Structure 1
Amino acid sequence: MSTRSNRPTADLPELAPGVTLVDVDDDLGVTPVQALLLDRVLGSDGPAFWVDGANRANTTRLRELAPADRVLDRVEVARGFTAHQHTALLDRLAGRLAARESPSVVLATGLDARYRDADVDGDVAEAMFIRAVASVARVARVHDAPVLVTRCRDDEFSRPLRRAAETHLACRATAFGPRFEDTEGETETLVYHGADGWIQTTLAYWREVLEHRARMYESAALDRPVAAAGAR
């Protein structure tokens, strides 16, 4: 579906310090959490870090989504392709943050992915995953910063991540567009709602949301037109 000419209102969940688990409907892809990452960067001064464990970190897509190129100067992206690489990245991140200013946000996508791979034995994989969860929780606690995490599956293996999360959000695809919900049922955030009821869930849609947010923050030069359509 596509937007009409009416200027939309836009909102995104306010991210509190601590670990926030975000479950996103598969057909929405990783873009909703990318939008949360960029929104946090727009509204704060510290750097942002994205540690990916599920091959979801596409920097080209992130650049297309950002309302201005210079927003990305404060975003660092790293990918772990094995369980050992992923654990090492999280350890290095904690070490780097100990020697610098607190981050505006940390995003860890697919935190459980690499520990499900066949190249790691079951007991070892579980221990390494628990260590990874403890690492992101420690970053959130020590730096009093929001840490966004996603998981590949909601099952017994990923339960330690759910227990470590102070907040649990879900981004659902609805007839009126993506909607963030608190899974405890306390809050519901409509990301985007046009006056005529028509919305767009492509990359261009999320860019429109972020451009609206950038105007609110007055912190980004909106120097590129919104694409007519895009992939998730």
Structure 2
Amino acid sequence: MHTRRQTSIDLPTLDPGVLLLDIEGELGLEPLHALVVDELLGTDGNAVWIDALGHARTTTFRELAPHRGYLDRVRLARGHTPWQHAALLDRLPTLVDESTSLIVAPAVDGLYRTDDIPEWQAKELLVRRLATLAGVSRTRDIPVLLTRTHTDGISEVIGNAAHRELECTNTRFGPRFMGDGHETLVYPQENGWVQTTLAFWREVLEHRAQRVDEPVAPATPASAVDGSGGL
């Protein structure tokens, strides 16, 4: 199969369905946050983010968002145990409404890797919650963005549940997103050696905001709740 290459300042579009994003370790969490902010640009929709292992970073959102108004549109809930995380995902159909345009569940396997529960039970818990995510995506016709912490027996079920997979790697020309025979090289420069810092991702998002006539101004943190409270 031939791979289509696209050089662009824009980030990949998130289509409806379950998307599994694998990020090269040295890139950190910035590509995930950037994709979420980018998805909100130019729309009135909100994102529901079910967090695990502290992947939702207030400082990263604050640095990346072209305008503070976007952070008000990220509804964030955190689970700190597998049971809290599972309970939040069980509530997902009631947390999503007509204004929701994206669901994010990073490190979706992370809290199920504990000695408190056997692996077979962890898989069972995870499979059921992945089915919930897929069901909400199908019913609402919106994208669900997942990441995983490891590639092994437990996380194998995540790959099975995903409709598409996207890999983000670092190159001297900039971040490269590859998946489904499509390759996007973000913000290429002729001489290469792009440093993928927070400033880099913010510049990409500011460019996108200007293209869709959205304001660009300093941002402020999003609010968060833990697994014991409501959004």
TM-score interval for Structure 1 and Structure 2 normalised by the shorter chain? 0.7 to 0.9
Q: Where do 5+ consecutive residues of structure 2 fail to align? A: 1-6, 220-231
**Partner amino acid for 1:21?**
L
Question: What is the TM-score of this pair, normalised by structure 2?
Answer: 0.87
1:223 to partner: Cα distance? 2.0
Residue 136 of structure 2 is matched in structure 1 by 139
Q: Does 1:217 align with 2:212?
A: yes
Q: Does 1:35 align with 2:29?
A: no
Q: For residues 9 and 168 of structure 1, what CA distance do their matches in structure 2 show?
A: 20
**Partner amino acid for 2:25?**
D
Q: For residues 190 and 43 of structure 2, what CA distance do their matches in structure 1 show?
A: 30
Query: Structure 1 residue aligned with 2:126, among 120, 129, 139?
Result: 129
Residue 104 of structure 2 is matched in structure 1 by 107
Residue 47 of structure 2 is matched in structure 1 by 48
> What secondary structure sits across from 1:50 in the alignment?
strand
Question: What is the TM-score of this pair, normalised by structure 1?
Answer: 0.87
Is the Cα–Cα contact under 8 Å of residues 174 and 192 in structure 2 kept in the other structure?
A: no
Residue 187 of structure 2 is matched in structure 1 by 192
Query: Structure 1 residue aligned with 2:159, among 144, 162, 169?
Result: 162
Q: For residues 57 and 47 of structure 2, what CA distance do their matches in structure 1 show?
A: 15
Q: For residues 20 and 43 of structure 1, what CA distance do their matches in structure 2 show?
A: 21
**Partner amino acid for 1:28?**
L
Q: For residues 173 and 202 of structure 1, what CA distance do their matches in structure 2 show?
A: 11
Q: For residues 73 and 55 of structure 1, what CA distance do their matches in structure 2 show?
A: 19
Q: For residues 64 and 100 of structure 2, what CA distance do their matches in structure 1 show?
A: 21
> What secondary structure sits across from 1:126 in the alignment?
helix
**Partner amino acid for 2:143?**
P
> What secondary structure sits across from 1:193 in the alignment?
coil
Residue 4 of structure 1 is matched in structure 2 by none
Query: Structure 2 residue aligned with 1:118, among 112, 115, 118?
Result: 115
Is the Cα–Cα contact under 8 Å of residues 119 and 154 in structure 2 kept in the other structure?
A: no
1:119 to partner: Cα distance? 1.6
> What secondary structure sits across from 2:100 in the alignment?
coil
1:43 to partner: Cα distance? 3.0
Q: Where do 5+ consecutive residues of structure 1 fail to align? A: 1-7, 226-232
Q: Which runs of 4+ in 1 moved over 4 A?
A: none
Q: Does 1:16 align with 2:15?
A: yes
**Partner amino acid for 1:179?**
R
1:216 to partner: Cα distance? 1.4
Is the Cα–Cα contact under 8 Å of residues 9 and 194 in structure 1 kept in the other structure?
A: no
> Could you report, residue by residue, the CA deviation over 1:177-200 in whole angstroms, capped at 9, with x for unpaired residues?
211111x4x100011112443422
Q: For residues 43 and 154 of structure 1, what CA distance do their matches in structure 2 show?
A: 34
Is the Cα–Cα contact under 8 Å of residues 8 and 185 in structure 2 kept in the other structure?
A: no
1:51 to partner: Cα distance? 1.0
> What secondary structure sits across from 2:62 in the alignment?
helix
Is the Cα–Cα contact under 8 Å of residues 109 and 149 in structure 2 kept in the other structure?
A: yes
Larger mean CA deviation between 23-32 and 55-64 belongs to 55-64
- Number of aligned residue pairs: 213
Residue 196 of structure 2 is matched in structure 1 by 201
User: Identity percentage over the alignment?
Assistant: 46
- RMSD between aligned residues: 1.7
Q: For residues 215 and 104 of structure 1, what CA distance do their matches in structure 2 show?
A: 21
